[in-house]
Amino acid sequence: MTRLISFGVILGLVAIFGLLSLRVMSSFMLPLLLAAMLVVIFGPLHRWLRERFLVPDWVAAGLTTMFVLLIVLVPLFLLVSRAGGDAVAMLRSPEGIRLDPNVLDGLVHTVNDATGLHVTSEGVNAELRKVAEEWIGPIAARAPVVIVKLLIGLVVMTVSLFYFLADGRRMFEAVTRLIPLDRRYQWQLLEEFEEVSRAVVSSTLLAAIVQAVLAGFGFYVAGLGGVFLLTLLTFFGALVPFVGAAAVWGSASLYLLFFVKNTWAAVALALWGACVVSTVDNIIKPIVLHGQSKLHPLLALLSVLGGVGALGPIGIFVGPIAVAFLQAALTMLQAEIVSLSGPAGAEVAGGPIAPKTDGVAQRVVERVKSS
């Protein structure tokens, strides 16, 4: 009886402090997840540096982290800083957000003739200024807090990436000893995380590149200037589901319609963007996710869309991982049911479950040992 009471108290302590720790660490879940995914992607580089130059783990981890900062984080930070600086300068300028009245005159006259209204260019600019102050003003006011949180997240992600690379094997072994789950199932979950992480990152980048190239072709044919800039904006925008690419080609179509007054080019670009550029995203991602993570194409598509809808942009990563873990958990449950049913049940099931998980374990063991 005393043993049972002690066990119950331990379970209660684990639950209480587990929830408290989850609450404390919840704001760092995204940086930690991104760091773990970067380890999956750049782990081969870390191993190559360690074996090629015969350096300790922490030296190879430092070099790999510096490489990631140089090719991923620094360019992204510079682009965001430049965009934020331009936005702040525009809001603080004497004219603020203002459209050229000479450009608006023709559109205003057309609208007045068609509707009988008496709209003026100055009235349109005043309304635009009011909207900017009401909507963009609060966003700009919160910008310092957002920037500080972003910088803290980047620091946490960078430090986590270094320690995951330098001490990941010992950290993983320490965690697996504390988890009351069969070791082969732990290896299987790790394998699923690795496969899905690589699949999500590669599918997102590939879809963004294809969308940017297709959109750039549309911008060139439509006769727009700054095709390279628009293509680059489309690439970064395509990394954000539902909004990204459409925001760029949609704005370009409106510019062609209202300012260049090229109706055919505007309609053609809008059709090209809606039917090709934005549609290809829903084709590439399920195919790549299915090919690399063994998720059914329908599940792959729904996991991305549903993850974004439920969790925001982070759902791009969490959605497929959650579905893949569910598949793995169901496989584990089936294996346990078969094992509990005795040798006869294992023979009826055909016996492929245990070898599969053993194969997964063997692959992951070899990978962990090599790291």
How do residues 206-234 score in pLDDT, each as one tens digit? 888 899 899 999 999 988 877 877 888 88
Rounded to an integer, the average pLDDT of 173-194 is: 81
Residue 364's pLDDT is 46
Query: Do residues 232 and 298 share a domain?
Result: yes
Chain mean position to CA 3: 47
Distances (CA, A) of 234 to 14, 138, 253: 47, 26, 14
Residue 104's pLDDT is 60
Query: Do residues 97 and 188 share a domain?
Result: no
Query: Do residues 135 and 232 share a domain?
Result: no
Query: Do residues 248 and 118 share a domain?
Result: no
* Spatial distance between the Cα atoms of 281 and 213, rounded to a whole number of angstroms: 12
Query: Do residues 198 and 150 share a domain?
Result: no
Residue 86's pLDDT is 54
Residue 84's pLDDT is 58
Chain mean position to CA 135: 26
Domain boundary among 140, 170, 200: 170
Q: Is the pLDDT of residue 69 over 50?
A: yes
**25 domain residue, yes or no:** no
Q: How confident is the model at residue 128 (pLDDT cuts 50, 70, 90)?
A: low
Total Cβ atoms within 10 A of residue 316: 22
Q: DSSP strand E in 118-201: where? A: none
> pLDDT tens across 14-33, in order?
889 888 888 888 788 888 88
DSSP assignment of 79-127? HHHHHHHHHHHHHHSSS-S---HHHHHHHHHHHHHHH-----HHHHHHH
> pLDDT tens across 346-371, in order?
554 444 444 444 444 445 445 544 54
Query: Do residues 133 and 278 share a domain?
Result: no
Q: Is the pLDDT of residue 73 over 80?
A: no
Rounded to an integer, the average pLDDT of 40-51 is: 90
Query: Do residues 100 and 191 share a domain?
Result: no
DSSP assignment of 149-202? HHHHHHHHHHHHHHHHHHHHHHHHHHHHHHS-S-HHHHHHHHHHHHHHHHHHHH
Rounded to an integer, the average pLDDT of 106-123 is: 67
Query: Do residues 116 and 224 share a domain?
Result: no
Range of the domain at 137: 30-170
- Specify whether the CB–CB gap between 60 and 165 falls below 8 A: yes
Residue 48's pLDDT is 93
Residue 352's pLDDT is 43
- Specify whether the CB–CB gap between 237 and 245 falls below 8 A: yes
**177 domain residue, yes or no:** no
Name the domain count of the chain.
2
Residue 214's pLDDT is 93
Residue 107's pLDDT is 67
Query: Do residues 161 and 195 share a domain?
Result: no
**9 domain residue, yes or no:** no
Q: How confident is the model at residue 174 (pLDDT cuts 50, 70, 90)?
A: confident
Q: Is the pLDDT of residue 50 over 80?
A: yes
**369 domain residue, yes or no:** yes
Query: Do residues 228 and 336 share a domain?
Result: yes
- Classify burial at 149, counting beta carbons within 10 Å of its beta carbon; exposed 0-12, middle 13-18, buried 19 or more: exposed
Residue 93's pLDDT is 56
**115 domain residue, yes or no:** yes
Rounded to an integer, the average pLDDT of 192-219 is: 87
Residue 349's pLDDT is 46
Residue 217's pLDDT is 93
- Specify whether the CB–CB gap between 265 and 257 falls below 8 A: no
Query: Do residues 42 and 121 share a domain?
Result: yes
Cα-Cα-Cα-Cα dihedral of 230, 233, 235, 239, to 10°? -150
**Percent over 90 (pLDDT), the chain:** 12
**77 domain residue, yes or no:** yes
* Spatial distance between the Cα atoms of 194 and 182, rounded to a whole number of angstroms: 19
Cα end-to-end span (Å), the chain: 46
* Spatial distance between the Cα atoms of 107 and 252, rounded to a whole number of angstroms: 17
Q: Is the pLDDT of residue 158 over 50?
A: yes
Q: Is the pLDDT of residue 121 over 60?
A: yes
Rounded to an integer, the average pLDDT of 85-95 is: 56
Domain boundary among 146, 170, 194: 170
The two most distant CA atoms of the chain are separated, in Å, by 89
Chain mean position to CA 317: 6
Query: Do residues 72 and 161 share a domain?
Result: yes
Distances (CA, A) of 238 to 166, 293, 321, 329, 339: 33, 22, 21, 32, 47
Query: What's the mean pLDDT when you consider all of the chain?
Result: 77
pTM of the predicted protein model: 0.67
For residue 364, the SS3 value is: helix
The residue type at 36: A
Between 21-25, 138-142, 198-202, 333-337, the lowest mean confidence (pLDDT) is in: 138-142
Between 96 and 133, whose confidence is greater?
133
**16 domain residue, yes or no:** no
Between 237 and 102, whose confidence is greater?
237
Residues 6+ positions from 197 with CB-CB distance below 8 Å: 36, 37, 40, 41, 317, 321
**45 domain residue, yes or no:** yes
